[in-house]
Amino acid sequence: MDVYFYEAFEEEALSLKSLLGNRLSYEMTDKTIQETDHLNPPARLISIRTQSIIPVEWADKLDGVLSRSTGYDHLKKYLGTIRKPLPCGYLEEYATRAVAEHAILLIMALMRRLPQQMIQFKHFNRDGLTGGECTGKNLLVVGVGRIGNEIVKIGSALGMNVRGVDIVQCHKDVEYIGKEEGIAWADVIICSMNLTNENRGYFSYNLLKHAEPGVLFVNIARGEHTPIADMLRLVQERHLGGLGLDVFEDEPNVAVALRSKHTNTFPAAKVIKELLQHPNVLFTPHNAFNTMEAVQRKSRFSADEVLYFLENKDFRCRAR
């Protein structure tokens, strides 16, 4: 077999099959590696997304690993563990607009109390459902890369006052501000940072306590930025007026726990289950990238990268 695809959800699988056709031999599953019974890699080249945990002992049995994602911190972590030059590839940008729109979607849904509206619809009860409008709100975008800058543009178009936090201030159209000052200023905070060793746990309880009570917070970047126990405490204390997450701390294990309904197995999954009891909380399953347009681009890039690797034994976009 030329390649085995893990974590291929229905629409992605159909798109990949239409592009690959009969050009090579492959199989795919919607499961992560840890959800299968695979004791050994089913092919010398495997393709994953961000939730599979690659066994260390597979390193000597693989020629390469392709992650169908633009983020590759999970690949760097694996390479740091195995300490050998295994080619590990990732994709060029394919979902900037999709992720940015999803961030704004979560903010607007929280601002208009959409989860509570859905609960109260069965009684057609409008008490306590008065929301807010975007125009005039202070939006802080933390991490102004490709996605962050797109969020800045959309927020500005909605009439929001937008500022950015980033150690690299490369966008001339962005008004930058310091972290602490920005947190205190914001009505809405969106995390769109890349993940580094330095910014793990960035949005801690102590940092977000500097925000005004009622602030809305969304993370569409990496779950490691937002310690889930801290998020629960902030929601319970009503310091966060709304919480929207598309990514989660310990996500590979959380995803398996939620799919298997064994949420008591992992601490983060237990906290997520508790958070979901709050009507001002809105979670999505790491799905911000998932538009028809982005999936088509992603599948095309994945197919091209697989074919390139089989011919050249390396990736054009390689994690190091």
User: DSSP states of the chain as a string?
Assistant: --EEE-S--HHHHHHHHHHHTTSS-EEE-SS-GGGS--SS-SSSEEEE-SS----GGGGGG-SEEEESSS--HHHHHHHHHH-S---EE-PPP--HHHHHHHHHHHHHHHHTTHHHHHHHGGGT--TT-----STT-EEEEE--SHHHHHHHHHHHHTT-EEEEE-SS---TT--B--HHHHHHH-SEEEE-PPP-SSSTT-S-HHHHTTSPTTEEEEE-S-GGGS-HHHHHHHHHTT-EEEEEESS-TTHHHHHHHHHHT-TTSSHHHHHHHHHTTSTTEEE-SS-TT--HHHHHHHHHHHHHHHHHHHHHSS-SSB--
Topology match between the domains 3-94+292-312 and 96-283:
yes
Class of domain 3-94+292-312: alpha beta
Would you list the domain boundaries of the chain? 3-94+292-312, 96-283
pLDDT on residue 264: 83
State the 10-residue block means of pLDDT for the chain, 320 residues long: 97 97 95 97 98 97 97 95 95 97 98 96 96 98 97 98 96 95 98 94 97 98 97 98 97 93 88 96 97 97 97 95
* Whether the predicted model's global pTM rises above the 0.75 cut: yes
> Given this model, what pLDDT does residue 265 score?
84
pLDDT one-digit tens code per residue, 215-244: 999 999 999 999 999 999 999 999 999 999
**CATH code for the structural domain at 96-283:** 3.40.50.720
